[in-house]
Structure 1
Amino acid sequence: MYFFSDRLVLRMYGAQKVTEAEAPELYRMVDRLRQRAGLPMPVVAVAPHEQPNAFATGRNPEHAVVAVTTGILKYMPQEELEGVIAHELAHIKNRDMLISTLAAGIAGAISNLPYLLLFGGGSSDDEGGHPFAQLALLLLAPIGAMLIQFAVSRQREFEADRVGAEILGRPMPLANALRRLDALSQRIPMQVAPAAAPLAQVNPLAASGRGFTKLFSTHPPTAERVARLESLAVGR
């Protein structure tokens, strides 16, 4: 799946690849920013969704895709759109698809570990196994693995914000874009496969991301992302 991730994700979003002739402003914006990032030119795609959003996918910088929704082209000012594109290019530069795949693999191994320990080693109650402890292990290990995977995803979002601000040369366009995306995502629903939602700039299926629920979110709360970007602006 890792090697075909770009095609799978484009299909999930219903996104279509576009050429410079078909979307000249978007294509040239991506081209200009990818040169700043020192990246090869990615495939550019547009997904027919009214909710403003964007995502990047692909197994490496040489096989990458940057996609936006028709909604983001409709509602997002150019300067803020540049911030969003820079963030997505940062994901490519940081090889976050590979990191996410590795995190998912580790999480899967942790989830399966209790089964190997309990059923693969011939353990039984007579040998000291405790049924309630075994049940707790079976239930809690997958939850712990999921929390680790989500924590990695949130950290990669923070890092993509930071690197995206560096690519663009200023952090506030992305901060303002995140505010706008968060507000619009509450009003405009987006129909997308849950498996593809974590790739988006703002998770289209996410809840508020506050308190305990934050632990189960693939994206950090928008307010935290904006605060970090604002601190970068103050430090410039």
Structure 2
Amino acid sequence: MNVVISVFGLTKYFHDIKLLLVVSVIVGFSGSFISLLLSKTIAIHSVNAQIITTPQNATEKWLLNTVANQANQWNLAMPQVAIYSSSVPNAFATGPTRNKSLIALSTGLLEGMTQDEVEAVLAHEMAHVGNGDMVTMTLIQGVINTFVFFAANKIAEIIASSQNNRALERGIHYLVSMVLQILFGFLASLIVLWFSRHREYRADACAARLVGAPKMIAALQRLKGDSSDLPEGLTAFGIASDSKDSLLATHPSLDNRIARLRGM
């Protein structure tokens, strides 16, 4: 979008604050909403997950029954349930709306955890769905993208307007706006990552209320020593945690998550 705007010389209209704001909203939210709408499809293909339609064994039957029961407690439509092949214990939830969601679990998680621990993981992912975290994350990202694009282009327009050569002005505007978008985008991502960590604490607490804190604590303890092997775009949605707290982490550390649960 930045390239198209620059090639067609649309930046010359950015002196109009209202027009710049409208363009910023379009640019800021379009990518986020496209990602949200395609989230299930992208997730399934990214990890080659197999959706359970007809249970083939007792484990799959138990998974569907457990998810259905938890969905009823949240007053939600039944999410799709999928399993993907990975030796790393992990799970994630995604989807465009609360009632069109997907919960996926790795084979490593199913093989390495007890039934109570898997139930807690499912409750954690169901909490993400019930809390509408996917939509909230999209809205936050869209707002932040809007302000990043607006601020970067407004500053670039002020800097480039001093040039008498139109072609040079457009080139300077493009370069300055791109550099500023990268810089502002990095700073703004700290807000998104803060929310990502916050929602993990909230999902843990909701899961503890749904199935009991001991089960959730046991599940988190079982994850110690493992790291996420999900594609980068799905890392924030997985249950596996970062080993230590950081401003750049998508999850709080497991120790802090466990401490929060023990303090409930």
Q: Same fold (TM over 0.5)?
A: yes
Residue 122 of structure 1 deviates from its aligned partner by: 5.2
AA of the residue aligned to 2:262:
E
Question: Does the 8 A contact of 1:19 with 1:27 survive in 2?
Answer: no
Residue 124 of structure 1 deviates from its aligned partner by: 6.2
Q: Residue by residue, what CA displacement relative to the aligned partner does 1:126-167 show, whole Å, maximum 9, x if unpaired?
A: 9xxxxxxx9996664222201011001111111111112222
Residue 123 of structure 1 deviates from its aligned partner by: 5.8
AA of the residue aligned to 2:133:
D
Which residue in the other structure is 1:216 paired with? 248
In structure 1, what is the Cα distance between the partners aligned to 2:231 and 2:102? 18
Superposition TM-score, scaled by structure 2 size: 0.74
Residue 37 of structure 1 deviates from its aligned partner by: 2.3
Question: Does the 8 A contact of 1:20 with 1:28 survive in 2?
Answer: no
AA of the residue aligned to 2:192:
Q
Aligned length: 214
Which residue in the other structure is 1:173 paired with? 215
In structure 2, what is the Cα distance between the partners aligned to 1:78 and 1:20? 20
Which residue in the other structure is 1:129 paired with? none
In structure 2, what is the Cα distance between the partners aligned to 1:73 and 1:43? 17
Residue 3 of structure 1, aligned match among 37, 40, 46: 37
AA of the residue aligned to 1:38:
N
AA of the residue aligned to 2:126:
L
**Which protein has the larger Cα radius of gyration, Structure 1 or Structure 2?**
2
Question: Does the 8 A contact of 2:66 with 2:119 survive in 1?
Answer: yes
Q: Which runs of 5+ in 1 are unaligned?
A: 127-133
Residue 47 of structure 1 deviates from its aligned partner by: 0.9
Which residue in the other structure is 1:161 paired with? 204
Residue 61 of structure 1 deviates from its aligned partner by: 2.1
Residue 209 of structure 1 deviates from its aligned partner by: 2.5
Once the two structures are overlaid, the 10-residue window that deviates more, 1-10 or 215-224, is 1-10
Superposition TM-score, scaled by structure 1 size: 0.82
Q: Check if 1:117 corresponds to 2:150.
A: no
Superposition CA RMSD, Å:
2.3
Structure 1 stretches (4+) deviating beyond 3 angstroms? 121-126, 134-140
Q: Check if 1:15 corresponds to 2:49.
A: yes
In structure 2, what is the Cα distance between the partners aligned to 1:68 and 1:135? 38
In structure 1, what is the Cα distance between the partners aligned to 2:147 and 2:218? 38
Question: Does the 8 A contact of 1:20 with 1:27 survive in 2?
Answer: no
Question: Does the 8 A contact of 1:153 with 1:218 survive in 2?
Answer: yes
Residue 43 of structure 1 deviates from its aligned partner by: 0.5
AA of the residue aligned to 1:48:
S
Q: Check if 1:202 corresponds to 2:236.
A: no
Question: Identity of paired residues, percent?
Answer: 30
Q: Check if 1:81 corresponds to 2:118.
A: yes
AA of the residue aligned to 1:90:
A
Residue 182 of structure 1, aligned match among 199, 209, 224: 224
